[in-house]
Structure 1
Amino acid sequence: MSARPFSKISAPFNGLLAAIGLVAVAVLTTPDITGRARLGLQLLLVAIWGIYLLQLVETLVLRRAKGPQDSTPAVAIDFLAVLVPLAGFLFASTRDQELFCAIWLLKPLRNSAFFRLIGRVISSEARNLIGVTSVFGLVLFAAALAGYLIERDVQPDKFGSIPQAMWWAVVTLSTTGYGDEIPQSFAGRVLAGLVMMCGIGIFALWAGLLATGFYAEIRRQDFVRNWQLVAAVPLFENLGSSALVEIVRALRPRLVPAGAVICRKGEAGDQMYFIVEGRVCVATPNPIELGPGSFFGEMALISGEPRSATVSAATEVSLLSLHAEDFQMLSISNPDIADIIRRTALERRGATPKA
């Protein structure tokens, strides 16, 4: 078996190496660690750094041979993982050299789709986020200014200037409430209450914008994936864009592992299935296999009869399911497809029974 290239180290292994290195960094900050244990941990950090160096070198070689292929963030993280600890070893004091290895926190993120998703959400909601952040800054300065004016004579040591009062404004606006700076006057406490309520509203706006952005981005990804699945079904390949949009909204993707039962004979059925990838086995007296582009379970939608056969996944199979209520809507908007499904169901009913 060939060795796995360093440039293709999996995300879990990158995470494991980073976790081991960060635990070693944390242990090295304890004052009572012995000299031998300290040396062992430092050698462990050097070994991890060496693995990351090899990963960087091989990634650069492959990048030069095959082109960038949108790997810039991964290469940047690989560079930081190697160069920052090296800079710490060369220029930092002996006591702080290991702390530069904390940059390895970024290593598990080099191939993370989740953080790319965050980037797209922030990019799409950038204008609104900047607007809310501007409001936060205005409220923060206004709260610090008001706190300074109200409390500067009562607590000159804590509210003696606007920069000093700004710490209180940050703590209050975020509703953290450390209690190290508390208004003493009645007007100051009224101000604190108002600032807290403003903070709740601003953070709710931030959370709402991000939640909306995540929802829209995930829906977009799901729509694109479902579109690709639907377009792969021969029954739908000649449809126009508007018809495909309606079908994409009606069909729901499902992945079934090999050997799993999809539907059982005699049970009530409320959905039919289209096969995108893989094969299914229909348990009739003469078992039948259906492959990509086929569909089954349509009798349950058309006649309401119980399942007439058990269908299981012969291989891992990617399906699109159509529920009864969605089938009725599809029959109205796309009668041609509904007629094909009904005609196929009647042909199967007159021949070999199926689910």
Structure 2
Amino acid sequence: MRDDAPSPLIRLRRRVHFLLDSGGVGDRAARNVHGGLVALVILSVAAVILESDPDHAARYGAIFRAVEYVAIAAFSVEYALRIWSAPDHTLYAAMRPAQARLAFVVSASAIIDLVAILPFYLSVVGAADLRILLFLRLARFFKLARYSPGIRSIFAVLETERKALAASGIVLFGVVLFMATAMHVVEHDAQPEAFRSIPASMWWAIQTIATVGYGDVVPHTAAGRVIAAISMVMGFVMLGLPVGIVATAFAEEIHRREFVVTWSMVAKAPLFSTLDASAIAEIMRYLRAQSLPAGALIVRRGEPAHSMYFIAAGEVEVELPDGPVRLGEGQFFGEIALLRKTRRTANVRAATPTKLLILDAFDLHVFTQRNPEIGRHIEAVAAKRSEFRPAIREGDLREGDLREGDLIEAEIDPRDIPPRADAP
């Protein structure tokens, strides 16, 4: 063992951090841990909701208590393990272990984790009102944000657009204040109780601008009806403003993430790794997406090859003579088909529900015709790659097919190849 190799305890800590914070990408155990925690959050929240009904509480009280005890035990262990593994978190990697753990404890996600288990321990010591405990127990619902990329994206959007949302809120308050003042002036004599002051008139302004219109307070004068009509029209405009801000920013966030992921996959392919940013961005325009269920056949052995594939999500299984090989998110296969008229030398199936990004040989041909210099560069890179002439093994296709095959050992990360049973 090297002197700088991590100790078993550090390796265990890193593994715990991966299981809790990786999102389950590429690891079955991590996916199971995250799936179990998500299921437990949903189950515990459902138990809290159903327990609020006296009939359900009397009939299923023992089940609700069992769910609560299991959830508290699991969330307590999770909270402790997250604190212990905090030094391996990317955000705290530059800190000393004690500093990293302190920084994690005061983070928003850690506070939510603490709130999720706090009601139980407070109820044990009898130090809180039961209504407060009920509210805090429901707060564990927000733990789902940690396990959902979509919810995290929404929070990121709200953080990014907080100034614009605050500005729209200020403008909305100004409209409410102005309309309430106008209605107080014109309706005070007609309805002294309903519009006795500006604060009292703001109730009418809020429900009118929100287009709720309970009908408990309505204008009696002609001027009041005009102000009410203007308030309703202003309500449509003002309430649509924050919705538009969030929707636009959310779409941009999703597009930005997909762009970064796609860029990294394309740039990692040897044929394109030395291209500049503008050339890679141009190639990305030709990619098309395809979603496949688990077990679907992507390419068939012996068929003409005409595309290369980038794995955006999921896993595929390449059926090689030495045994199946799995390729996961961020990897690719079939690149030789872009430059040679080949036949597939292996079957490839979707091992899990998979999303692929496909680049057809025809589209790359169009691209290289429009950019001859880049086309010559890609050809030069391809010509230097020895994997265009793989060794022939027993059981493969004909020699000509194998030499021109597009699914070859050089496109597969050796770490993905399972060891043989007779390996030393």
Q: Where on the TM-score scale, by shorter chain, does this alignment land: which range? A: 0.7 to 0.9
Match of 2:279 in 1: 243
The question of whether the paired residues in 2 share the 8 Å contact of 1:73 and 1:110 is answered with no
TM-score by length of 1: 0.75
Deviation at 1:335, TM superposition (A): 4.5
The question of whether the paired residues in 1 share the 8 Å contact of 2:115 and 2:139 is answered with yes
The question of whether the paired residues in 2 share the 8 Å contact of 1:278 and 1:292 is answered with no
Deviation at 1:107, TM superposition (A): 2.4
User: 2 CA distance for matches of 1:333 and 1:259?
Assistant: 35
Match of 1:60 in 2: 83
Match of 1:304 in 2: none
Residue type of the alignment partner of 1:240: D
Q: Please tell me whether residue 144 in structure 1 is matched to residue 167 in structure 2.
A: no
**Matching residue within 367, 371, 377 for 1:333:** 371
| 146-155 or 7-16: bigger deviation | 7-16
TM-score by length of 2: 0.64
**Matching residue within 100, 103, 128 for 2:164:** 128
Q: Please tell me whether residue 80 in structure 1 is matched to residue 122 in structure 2.
A: no
Residue type of the alignment partner of 1:170: I
Structure 1, residues 310-346: CA drift from partner, whole Å, max 9, x if none?
Answer: 985257585532474675245213544278579x9xx
Unaligned stretches of 5+ in structure 2? Answer: 1-14, 21-31, 93-103, 321-331, 383-387, 390-399, 407-424
User: 2 CA distance for matches of 1:53 and 1:339?
Assistant: 57
User: 2 CA distance for matches of 1:107 and 1:21?
Assistant: 12
Structure 1, residues 279-300: CA drift from partner, whole Å, max 9, x if none?
Answer: 7689xxxxxxxx8462326689
| 141-150 or 73-82: bigger deviation | 73-82
User: 1 CA distance for matches of 2:44 and 2:181?
Assistant: 45
- Any residues of structure 2 matched to 1:180-219 within 5 Å, and which? 180-219=216-255
Q: Work out the percentage of aligned pairs sharing the same amino acid.
A: 25
The question of whether the paired residues in 1 share the 8 Å contact of 2:299 and 2:349 is answered with no
The question of whether the paired residues in 1 share the 8 Å contact of 2:16 and 2:85 is answered with no
Deviation at 1:205, TM superposition (A): 2.1
Unaligned stretches of 5+ in structure 1? Answer: 283-290, 301-306
2:358 aligned counterpart, secondary structure: strand
Match of 1:20 in 2: 43
Structure 1, residues 240-289: CA drift from partner, whole Å, max 9, x if none?
Answer: 2221221123333556666514489999x9x733567967689xxxxxxx
Deviation at 1:97, TM superposition (A): 4.4
Deviation at 1:229, TM superposition (A): 1.0
Say what the alpha-carbon RMSD is for the aligned residues.
4.2
Deviation at 1:36, TM superposition (A): 7.7
Deviation at 1:125, TM superposition (A): 2.7
Match of 2:196 in 1: 160
Q: How many residues align?
A: 332
The question of whether the paired residues in 2 share the 8 Å contact of 1:275 and 1:293 is answered with no
